């Protein structure tokens, strides 16, 4: 296992520069258009597929980087380009993580390739966890999965919301309740194959930011899927449920994680890296603007009120990146998050992105408030980081519970 380092090796630098070039040459020029259109940027996704960025091989190479820095490095550069388009490119990854975190080797090999398709026929996937009455409160989840033993099929009913690629995905990963008496421990994840009857897209949301990313409800009405589509298999599920029931009876014992939390724990540092990318982009625009914008006979960066803001912005961005890199290295090194380091990285980077993009708008003044300059869009996009995959409040709750070992509410 590689030792922790803050210096990228030559191969990593080459990959970083390659991704940065794609973000600069392909993503950025298209950002304003697709933000206004509020549509999935299929041509950009296809371009990413053609060069190899939107592919299973690319993400596998970054995921298995022994330093742990492959994924956060890639996320930062893509989201430096534009958050909405980048999320359309990487949104499939959350569903893929759901399969890797909970599935068998056979399921991983069968379904993940179908999530991406080919450069000539790109596909996307969706991870469906949140519901109208169950966002942060996953214990309120109502979508049910009932096993039909006679047919070896699972029957899913319910409505999911806030699903990236929901309804347009080739493969949907759905978290559902299999044992309501066990609360969050009674959840499981299921693969819904392409063109499965009963799955449909509900409302498509018109959003404040990340407009190029498709977000919608997913409606499940008597959706029947083969027994083999239960992630991890039924034997593993039965064993996990048995442990959860025993723990519930004894009032303690081994902790059992639910399916959605296993996915989110693996992805939180990556979300932190996305936030770092957006913050860095806004900071760079503000820095360039402050150097060239002249007021009262001198560049505005010559004023401490502006210069000190930029100093704080850069310091916070670098601190956020280091938290993300630490958590990413710990994850690949098998180091337990004894202080919820994954949540720390997501929490801090998300808050930094909101603050830095707001400061960038302020430095640009009236220009920053118009769509002629990208910081307005970056500021809108940054709002999502403190909300999705666990709000900042939930991150603080996770951290507080971890460091105190108390059931804080």
Hey, which residues does 164 pair with through a beta bridge? 215
Candidates 381, 399, 380, 378; CA nearest to 390 is 399
Q: Nearest Cα to 274, choosing from 376, 370, 349, 369?
A: 349
Determine the Cα–Cα distance for residues 26 and 47; give it in Å rounded to an integer. 8
Q: For residue 147, what are its two tokens?
A: 């096993």
Is 389 among the catalytic positions?
yes
Q: Which of 217, 341, 376, 389 is catalytic?
A: 389
- Range 303-332 burial, b when 16+ CB lie within 10 A, else e: eeebeebbeebbebbeebbebbbbbbbbbb
How many whole angstroms separate alpha carbon 242 and alpha carbon 236? 10
Complete DSSP assignment for 243-297 = HHHHHHHHT-SS----HHHHHHHHHHHHHHHHHHHHHHHHHHHHHHHHHH-EETT
DSSP string, 50-118: HHTSSSHHHHHHHHT-TTS-HHHHHHHHHHHH-HHHHHHHHTHHHHHHHHHHH--HHHHHHHHHHHHEE
Distance CA(25)–CA(32), nearest Å, equals 14
Q: Give the number of other CB atoms < 10 A from CB of residue 391.
A: 16
User: 345, 274 in Cβ contact below 8 A?
Assistant: no
Instruction: Report the catalytic residues.
Output: 389
């Amino acid at each position: 296992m590689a030792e922790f380092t803050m210096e990228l090796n030559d191969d990593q630098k080459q990959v970083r520069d390659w991704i940065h070039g794609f973000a600069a040459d392909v993503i950025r020029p298209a950002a304003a258009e697709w933000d206004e259109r509020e549509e999935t940027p299929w041509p950009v996704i296809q371009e990413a597929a053609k060069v190899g960025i939107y592919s299973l091989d690319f993400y596998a190479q970054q995921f298995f980087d022994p330093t742990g820095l492959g994924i956060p490095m890639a996320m930062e550069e893509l989201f430096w380009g534009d958050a909405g388009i980048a999320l359309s490119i990487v949104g499939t990854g959350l569903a893929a993580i759901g399969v890797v975190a909970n599935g068998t080797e056979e399921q991983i090999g069968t379904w993940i390739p179908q999530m991406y398709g080919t450069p000539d026929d790109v596909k996307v996937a969706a991870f469906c966890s949140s519901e109208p009455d169950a966002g942060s409160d996953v214990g309120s989840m109502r979508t049910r999965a009932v096993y039909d033993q006679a047919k070896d099929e699972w029957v899913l009913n319910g409505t999911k919301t806030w699903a990236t690629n929901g309804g347009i995905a080739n493969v949907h990963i759905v978290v559902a309740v299999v044992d309501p008496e066990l609360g969050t421990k009674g959840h499981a994840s299921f693969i819904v194959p392409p063109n499965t009857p009963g799955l449909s897209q509900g409302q498509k949301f018109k959003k404040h930011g990340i407009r190029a990313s498709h977000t919608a409800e997913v409606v499940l009405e008597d959706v029947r899927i083969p027994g083999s589509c239960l992630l991890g298999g039924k034997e593993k599920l039965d064993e996990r449920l048995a442990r959860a029931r025993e723990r519930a009876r004894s009032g303690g014992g081994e902790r059992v994680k639910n399916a959605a939390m296993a996915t989110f724990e693996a992805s939180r540092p990556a979300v932190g890296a996305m936030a770092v990318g957006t913050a860095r982009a806004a900071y760079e625009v503000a820095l360039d603007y402050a150097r060239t914008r002249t007021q009262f006979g001198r560049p505005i960066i010559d004023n401490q009120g502006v210069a000190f803001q930029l100093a704080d912005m850069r310091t916070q961005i670098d601190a956020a990146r280091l938290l993300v890199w630490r958590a990413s290295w710990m994850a690949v090194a098998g180091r337990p998050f004894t202080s919820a380091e994954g949540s720390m990285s997501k929490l801090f980077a998300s808050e930094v992105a909101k603050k830095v993009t707001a400061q960038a708008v302020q430095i640009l003044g009236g220009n920053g408030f118009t769509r002629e300059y990208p910081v307005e869009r970056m500021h809108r996009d940054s709002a999502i980081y403190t909300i999705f995959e666990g709000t900042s409040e939930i991150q603080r709750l996770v951290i507080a519970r971890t460091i105190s070992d108390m059931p804080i509410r």
